[in-house]
Structure 1
Amino acid sequence: MNSPQPTKIHRPEPSRAIDIGAVTERVPMYTQEFAQNPHDYFQFMRRHYNDLPLIPVWIAEGIPATLAIKYETARRILHDPTHFPSDPRNWQRKLPRDRRLDFLPMVEWRSNALRSNGDSPEHKRYREATQYALSKVNQFALQDEVEIQAHNLINAFCAEGATPDQPLDLIQHYIAPLTFTILNYMVGSPPDIMMRIAKASADLFEGQDTEQTNAQFDSALLDLITLRRAAPGDDLTTRLITHESQLTDAEIVQQLVTCLSAGTQGPADLAASTIKLLLTTPLHERPMTKTALNQTLATDPPMANYQITYPKQPIAVDGVWLPADEPVIVSLMACCTDPTVNNGDYHSDGWHAGFGFGPHECPKDAKSSSLQIVEGLIDWLFDILPDVQLAVPEEALVWRPGPFAHGLLSLPVTFPRTPPMMPTRRSENSQYSG
């Protein structure tokens, strides 16, 4: 890695905390180099800033923020919604209006739990509705549906095989369509509406035009809500509609934006990164799938740098003065690879923060469904194609640029021609009831 230029920090007095607001040069998080080498950057941050827990960064050219890279510091911040609220509107009003800000769809205010302060009535209302909708997912039917869809997708390409000259991109042909199909069933969406939702979700993660992305989401999700109001089903959308919190259609749209954007790209990125880990580990040293998932959630989590708060007023934290209304981003990746926390034991998932901290931590039922989908996706791939191999050197893989999410653009593999395999069991109904 070409190390970033040293950041210039104004130190008013030796006895006082470092003033992040006085920084003139910061570490850029929006470059392709950062996406390719985040761990090298975190090592640089720890070394150059004398192990400070909070680092001055750019999330886009000219847009400053602070990155929390120490586990305990991040925990304290995210468990203190009084001093560190999650509502971005004060900061958002100060953003430049004379240029396009590709990161904005990922961080702008929405009427959902993620962008509501963790101690507010709005957060409680939105969170309870979403948790209720997720808690009713039939995990046994979900497991069956993952198996069926995994077999269908693998059977479509396994007989042809894949060679170094003609590799197969697992993300394009297997991972993305499987996660898309499963979420389609869970939210109760017909394929035509879900295709529009998937496009909007991809644009959100890839930093496309804010107005266009939001318009795509609104149009598709309002059509879905109208459909489910007329014909209720056993699905996430219907449960949000009928929940006692009596969400408006606009509020339901925003809860679904959170579920869908996290539920499609997040599991897809987690699956691809975990398969990459398994394929780059010698066969005799490969961990079990659950252990590999724990390792990926700790070292390469899909939402690598995301949980964002905005201090109400200037505040000192662990030797650093943070300015008011400027983003403090928690790097879940840096926190979980913090040498004071990570001892290399990934058999237990009780310590890592791959799903976040505090009141905005991923709901437990969302975690269980996501992990079930990803674990089934991975296990069926290696069961049916045990000789699958990475088609390129690990260092040739390209990661999607951006300051927040962490995911591969493609995962090319090879495998010998393999006869199709039928699922061993099938749900009573051909349609999954989510």
Structure 2
Amino acid sequence: MPLYGPRFSQRPGDLYRELRQRYGPVAPVVLEGGVPAWLVLGYREVYHVASNPQQFARDSRRWNAWSEIPDDWPLMPYVGYRPTVLFTEGEEHRRRAGAISDALAAVDQFELTAICERTCDELIDGFAGRGAADLITEYAHRIPVRVVVRLFGMPDADLPALIHDIAVSLDEGEEAVAAHQRTVARMRQLVAGKRQQPGPDVPSRMLAHAAGLSDEEVALDLLMVLASAQQPVANWIGNTLRLMLTDDRFAITLAGGRRSVSEALNEVLWEDTPTQNFIGRWAVRDTRLGGRHIRAGDLLVLGLAAANADPSVRPDSSPGTSGNHAHMSFGHGEHSCPHPAPELAEVIARSAIGVLLDRLPDAALAVGADELRWRPSVWMRGLFSLPVRFTPAG
């Protein structure tokens, strides 16, 4: 079954259920261009793959289909080997990931909250007087990169071009490769500057880390951190705002207590997780998984959204996941989001929603909930727009 096309744009969950019913927890699929892969749908199977890097590895050079992949394949930014922490394995991965984790762990969360709130206030100031706004294009998608570049010690003047290129590089379009290359060049310039003039920021801490990272390693890994923050966190904010604006369980307390914000953030990670599928892992040797024969070099796509909805671990599929944080939305194992990235991401998302509720307490959806449209991506789950109306600020 094709793992692309319009069937994924609005209700991908229906397709995951169909695949599960037809094939079980591991389904044969084809990616764009007819490229074969395995989609791992089962929660236990995703957990097993992510927990066994010796069997299911990250180095994409193991792929047995490279001879059939054109250089301009739209998904090349996801699978083309680059010497970043994403594709490292074993001790090398632990060295690189450890430096990232330590640099992020040094971020003061009170300072991060202040940066987030200041960023959100600046954005809301731009549309508060109108009484109407698109909370995706004017708010959610502008927050993460602005916050992260401040943690990186980058000048605000670099923002417009950087935001554009990050978004394009994560889409499945012809310009993705060129946008990725421009972003890499900006990260190299940043690292060169921090090498000369270090500061209290993430790049400087990585350069000074005992792991002894080279400038190129730091540049490439900073790009990974930035890209991992932008689309996933932006969509986490947007998807949570959609839930709170359309679901009476949250709309009742939209202008009230904050307990519902944390509940909404967690429910979105279960029901509409920003990273739907992750490409991927490559089998080190022949094996069996979910009743399927996996050949050495086969590509496995981790179906994070499908795993979260697996009826074998969630027999009651009704909404309501308060207190349950066992979702796969941040991955699992040594190649999951590095600690404390998920915690910092939640600070950004929770701050963004909290500031909006404080500033625009009567915000309401300006269109019918059924008019909202999801972006047609197999990999990310996010809306095109989220138009709202509210009382204009005086």
Query: TM-score with structure 2 length normalisation?
Result: 0.92
Cα shift at 1:78? 1.0
Structure 2 regions of 5+ residues with no counterpart?
Answer: none
Cα shift at 1:45? 1.4
Q: Secondary structure at the match of 1:173?
A: coil
Q: Indicate the structure (1 or 2) with the bigger Cα radius of gyration.
A: 1
1:261 counterpart residue number: 227
1:274 counterpart residue number: 240
2:37 to 54, 57, 65: 65
Distance 1:379 1:303 in 2: 23
Cα shift readout 1:259-311 (whole Å, capped 9, x = no counterpart): 00011111101000111111111133777111111111111111110051100
Cα shift readout 1:208-253 (whole Å, capped 9, x = no counterpart): 4354133212211111111111221111111111111121222112
2:363 counterpart residue number: 388
1:48 to 22, 27, 43: 22
Q: Which amino acid aligns with 1:284?
A: I
2:139 is the alignment partner of 1:160: no
Q: Which amino acid aligns with 2:163?
A: A
Cα shift at 1:98? 4.4
Distance 2:98 2:339 in 1: 12
Name the Cα RMSD after superposition: 1.9
2:284 is the alignment partner of 1:284: no
1:361 counterpart residue number: 336
Cα shift readout 1:399-420 (whole Å, capped 9, x = no counterpart): 222322222222222222234x
Cα shift at 1:176? 2.0
Q: Secondary structure at the match of 1:171?
A: coil
Q: Which amino acid aligns with 1:136?
A: A
1:191 to 156, 159, 176: 156
Query: TM-score with structure 1 length normalisation?
Result: 0.84
Cα shift at 1:35? 2.6
Cα shift at 1:60? 1.0
Cα shift at 1:204? 1.9
Distance 2:359 2:161 in 1: 31
Distance 1:138 1:254 in 2: 24
Q: Secondary structure at the match of 1:64?
A: strand
Distance 1:317 1:92 in 2: 18
Structure 1 regions of 5+ residues with no counterpart?
Answer: 1-26, 163-167, 420-434
Distance 1:114 1:307 in 2: 11
Distance 1:159 1:199 in 2: 26
1:131 counterpart residue number: 101
2:11 counterpart residue number: 37
Cα shift readout 1:36-64 (whole Å, capped 9, x = no counterpart): 21111112112233xx1001112212111
1:91 counterpart residue number: 63
Taking structure 1 as reference, are residues 92 and 390 closer, same or farther at Cα in structure 2, changes over 3 Å only? farther
Contact 2:40 2:46 (8 Å CA) reproduced: yes
Contact 2:253 2:260 (8 Å CA) reproduced: no
Which 4+ stretches in 1 moved above 6 angstroms? none
Q: Which amino acid aligns with 1:147?
A: E
Cα shift readout 1:360-384 (whole Å, capped 9, x = no counterpart): 1112311111100100101111222
Q: Which amino acid aligns with 1:179?
A: P
Contact 2:57 2:283 (8 Å CA) reproduced: yes
2:143 is the alignment partner of 1:169: no
Cα shift at 1:345? 4.1
Within-5 A mapping of 1:181-260: 181-208=146-173, 209=175, 211-260=177-226
- What is the aligned-residue identity percentage? 28
2:377 is the alignment partner of 1:409: no
Cα shift at 1:92? 7.6
Distance 2:14 2:328 in 1: 20
Q: How many residues align?
A: 384
Q: Which amino acid aligns with 1:250?
A: E
Distance 2:109 2:207 in 1: 21
Distance 1:326 1:210 in 2: 25
Q: Which amino acid aligns with 1:369?
A: L
